[in-house]
Amino acid sequence: MTLDAVLTQIDTDLDASVERLKDLLRIPSISTDPAFKDDCQTAADWLVSDLASFGVEAEKRQTPGHPMVIGHVGTGAPHLMFYGHYDVQPVDPLSLWNRDPFDPAIEETPKGKVIRGRGACDDKGQLMTFMEAFRAWKAVHGSFPCAITFIFEGEEESGSPSLIPFLKEYKDELSQPDMAMICDTGLFNRDTPAITTMLRGLLGEEITIKAADKDLHSGMFGGPAINPIRVLTRIIASLHDETGRITVPGFYDGVPELSNSLKAQWENLGFDAKGFLGDVDLSVPAGEMGRSVLEMIWSRPTCEVNGISGGYTGDGFKTVLPAEATAKISFRLVGTQDPFAIRENFRKVVRDMLPEDCTVEFSDHGASQASVMSTEDPSFEAARLALSDEWPRPAAFIGCGGSIPIAGYFQEYLGLPSMLIGFGNDDDQLHSPNEKYDLRSFHKGIRSWARVLDAIVK
Ligand code: BES
Ligand code: ZN
């Protein structure tokens, strides 16, 4: 009965909820770019006042990087800690956006209405689903369902450098909750909600290879002078063999084979691999041979070059022999693969392939292990059933190819298990131009949280 009242309140308030989300989306809180430092403060302030507007006392806490927002409210079991990140990815290439990334709007698309703008899904739209669910709950009940802690981070998209020291500093306070609820993942498909139980880890490495002390004329020096772009691309080309396996020594240590039961469970999900690739104009899976597309994303490690630069890349043509070349390389990790061992082994591969006259510099862009969530706690099944009530199809336990290192940190530094529920779709264009969040995800996401809370609060 009261759940119905909360759901009705959510439906009635939807337009205002969208306006609040649009307010947050207007703040360009790009964490990786120092030019947007003040905007990250503004986004944190916005969250503090939005929490206050439905009765949660919260505060901004500074870190050496961007601030955290922490709030506590309510009493009773279980004590839940809700996590979201208010920072967003850079918008470039800006020319590919069909609108100003920080001037959000509702757009009609063939698949329904969407909220367009940077962060619409990742993670502002998602975090606002639970904020709006609590707002509605408070409006109907006059109180909160249980003890709740809110934690919002502003550095997730740049590797969470301040998070571990912060968790250590506030350990007594932040280890009080029983479980972390993380809203930063996706649906299984448009009609099938999901609880994500496996996340890949991530290792980020940047390498710069230098040769001559300056850029040279490639006619005058081409031949005798070594070209760092050729050295770099030869190294990169050697990182995979012809079957798609990664050649770094020891790389597959700790990579488990899928159990038969998980394999069967995944086969039952009826994943549409053709459609998944077809939606981005691809047709042939390019990962390790002999693996299904779902395995490639959820349970196999990868090595990808995310960016490469050197020499002349502007308009026209320049016969230059560059002095240096750089690549940004990331490894997605699974099982118990050790990011630090992989970093060392990768660096050794690079050094061993380095010819005379070349030097290499490495810079580290974060290292986190994969995580697997146990679903034994009865609240997982309760949440799964609650999600199933809201969406056309029953909820599934799924994997995720992306990385949310904080889930591992909450376990390691606070002893907190995590439950990951989110409402993103594969076509939300996270980290890309024209990011969007379906209005349906936003609306049903808010309703889903009300149902989940109703189901797991004792
Ligand atoms: N929300 C994403 C994680 C995600 C990606 C969930 C794809 C579902 C599908 C998160 O904000 C993210 O992008 N994480 C980064 C890692 C971070 C350390 C930069 C990622 O996965 O690249
Ligand atoms: Zn995210």
41 and 87 together in one domain: yes
DSSP lists the bridge partners of residue 418 as 180
321, 184: one domain: no
* Ligand 1 in reach of 153 Cβ (< 6 A): no
pLDDT computed for residue 1 by the predictor: 61
Average pLDDT for the chain: 97
Ligand nearest to the CA of 124: 2
* 270 burial via Cβ count (<10 Å: 0-12, 13-18, 19+): exposed
Atom 7 (ligand 1) nearest CA = 402
Residue 89 lies in a domain: yes
Q: Which residues of the chain have pLDDT under 70?
A: 1
Structure tokens given for 407: 């889930």
Domain with 130, as residue range(s), is 2-199+370-457
pLDDT digits (tens, 9 = 90+) for 12-49: 999 999 999 999 999 999 999 999 999 999 999 999 99
From residue 328, alpha-carbon distances to 199, 231, 432 in Å are 21, 15, 17
Is 39 close to ligand 1, i.e. is its CB under 6 Å away? no
Regarding beta strands 194-199 and 396-400, do their DSSP bridges make them parallel or antiparallel, or are they unpaired? parallel
- CATH number (domain holding residue 357): 3.30.70.360
The pLDDT, as a whole number, for residue 159 is: 86
Q: Are residues 63 and 12 in the same domain?
A: yes
* Last residue in a domain, options 368, 383, 405: 368
Burial of 72 (0-12, 13-18, 19+ CB in 10 A): middle
Residue 402 CA to ligand 1 centre (angstroms) = 5
Same structural domain, 343 and 387 = no
Res 71: pLDDT: 98
Asked whether 157 lines ligand 1 (CB < 6 A), one says: yes
- Residue 391 CA to residue 322 CA, distance in Å, equals 55
Question: Domain boundary at 345, 368, 391, which?
Answer: 368
The secondary structure element, H or E, covering residue 328 is strand 324-333
Q: Kindly report whether the peptide bond that precedes residue 123 is cis, defined as omega within 30 degrees of 0.
A: yes
Q: What's the structural domain count of the chain? A: 2
Is the pTM above the cut of 0.85?
yes
Task: Give the separation between CA 384 and CA 34, rounded to whole angstroms.
Answer: 40
Any atom of ligand 1 within 6 Å of the Cβ of 184: yes
Residues 125 and 213 in one domain: no
pLDDT reported for residue 458: 75
Q: What is the DSSP string of 336-358?
A: T--HHHHHHHHHHHHHHTPPTT-
Choose the residue to mutate in 184, 294, 429 for probing ligand 1, maximizing ligand atoms within 8 Å of C-beta.
184
**330 CA: nearest ligand 1 atom:** 22
Q: What is the pLDDT of residue 245?
A: 98
